[in-house]
Structure 1
């Protein structure tokens, strides 16, 4: 069953169209692993990135035994929060318990992520390199399906998911940003078409739904940035993924691009009375898990 059709059936009031020409990715049995030592549970880990120790929390659900490859989800926290906060509030840990995948909760410098024009105090922080080092570390210690690494995040963390789609499409198979949009000043040149599932609240007081200038709320000075807006971000990814010029009939909740290159998908879901909030973790995972790297 197509992903958006499944969402339409699962979520009350959701009425969205899907692209019937997009094939489901192949379902392969999980490959076996040997030599990895990670045990089920929570692990506080660190990696060296350009001479700096970067920290993250890795969660392996009770079902994880290291005998077969499982997906890995990178879950990025919001500005001024933390990896611990994201672990406790995003809902991805509970979904991982039910569905048997690993979740990494990275910790940002200044409790922020460097998207290029914002949002860490220093523009030299390389969070894309951090993501790559983190995935490499997890792969070395656990049984990860490297074709099924995903990124999600809330607010500034959603911006980091977009950043990985732009700059590390060889690393992540698909992304699910929430409560954030593409930034005009951010360079974006993905190495391949990549599926995006975006969630936005129409009444968001922090990231304006219609786009425009904004200054991130930090204790250190940052330059003003310009958001493309929810529809602008959707249009950007439709172009980057070489989707057809039209979209499916917009519903009260979701809009999806028509035929996109290499079976990629571009989806925007909007809460009419929603504010600066995250999307349901299970729904995001239901989208992400059906995609894999070529």
Structure 2
């Protein structure tokens, strides 16, 4: 199985997906309108919804990356998920993926693709939200669905300390997957047993041009990165129709893998389950 060690710039081929945006924005560049849409001068934008909190208090946040072809506005249309997070006291930050040549938005997640530096863009988003909306950068979870979930995994692999935790839904790595990742991280991975868009075993795209990776193979990379002593999970249990496995490998080194019976979707109740996990037994400082 062909693999490479994850490193920014390790590959030099150009993406055929049509990304062409570079990003050099800073918090000072952003301008926000009354609808909660913040745009950077150098490209890129994000949407935000904040909870009802006492003035002067810093707030935790979930930065949620949309799936292929969607947008930050599309993320906010997930009203049940957004409301659940707001009710728990979290801001919901919904960045816009870069536009491709065909006009649709996605994320420049695969190493070596030509396009926007997503790590720099997302760091600027968090920095801006900190200054404008009192978001606590030490309590920000990076989550994402499908293509956004792939982006979550790759960013976590390269810069594990950028966010407090990572919560991909229906997204892992592509082939060739990283041979190793940096750590430690806290990872909350959710996937559908019946998912045919991003199957657990992976699949080929564009007539074999790309290959989605095996989710279980990706979890093995994460266990190695976190220094887990065994591949066997620390705990296995069921919650309603979900099957859950957890590896606890030390402070700030944890994987929770939830397999729900549905397909390519964010399952009902995901927001509360993810927040419960994030807030329970916070790692020691």
- 2:275 is aligned to 285
- 2:89 is aligned to 100
- 1:173 is aligned to 164
**Mean Cα deviation higher: 106-115 or 181-190:** 181-190
Cα-to-partner distance string for 1:162-219 (whole Å, 9 max, x where unaligned):
12212232220101111112223355865530011111112211112123x4227xxx
Given that 1:173 and 1:292 are in contact with CA atoms closer than 8 Å, whether structure 2 keeps it comes out as: no
- 2:107 is aligned to 113
User: What is the TM-score with the length of structure 2 in the denominator?
Assistant: 0.75
Matches of 2:276 and 2:140, distance apart in 1:
14
Given that 2:85 and 2:271 are in contact with CA atoms closer than 8 Å, whether structure 1 keeps it comes out as: no
Matches of 1:150 and 1:249, distance apart in 2:
23
Matches of 2:160 and 2:80, distance apart in 1:
24
Given that 2:180 and 2:224 are in contact with CA atoms closer than 8 Å, whether structure 1 keeps it comes out as: no
What do you get for the CA RMSD once the two structures are aligned?
2.7
**Candidates 204, 216, 225, aligned match of 1:240:** 225
Q: Secondary structure at the match of 1:53?
A: coil
User: What is the TM-score with the length of structure 1 in the denominator?
Assistant: 0.73
Residues 268, 144 of structure 1: alpha-carbon distance in 2 compared, 3 angstrom cutoff? same
| TM superposition shift of 1:244 | 2.0
- 1:9 is aligned to none
| TM superposition shift of 1:248 | 3.3
Superposed, 1:215-230 pairs within 5 Å as: 215=205, 224-230=209-215
| TM superposition shift of 1:42 | 4.9
**Mean Cα deviation higher: 180-189 or 103-112:** 180-189
Which structure has more RCO (C-alpha within 8 Å, separation ≥ 6)? Answer: 1
Matches of 1:137 and 1:266, distance apart in 2:
29
Residues 91, 229 of structure 1: alpha-carbon distance in 2 compared, 3 angstrom cutoff? farther
Given that 1:197 and 1:267 are in contact with CA atoms closer than 8 Å, whether structure 2 keeps it comes out as: yes
Superposed, 1:4-83 pairs within 5 Å as: 42-48=35-41, 52-61=42-51, 63-83=52-72
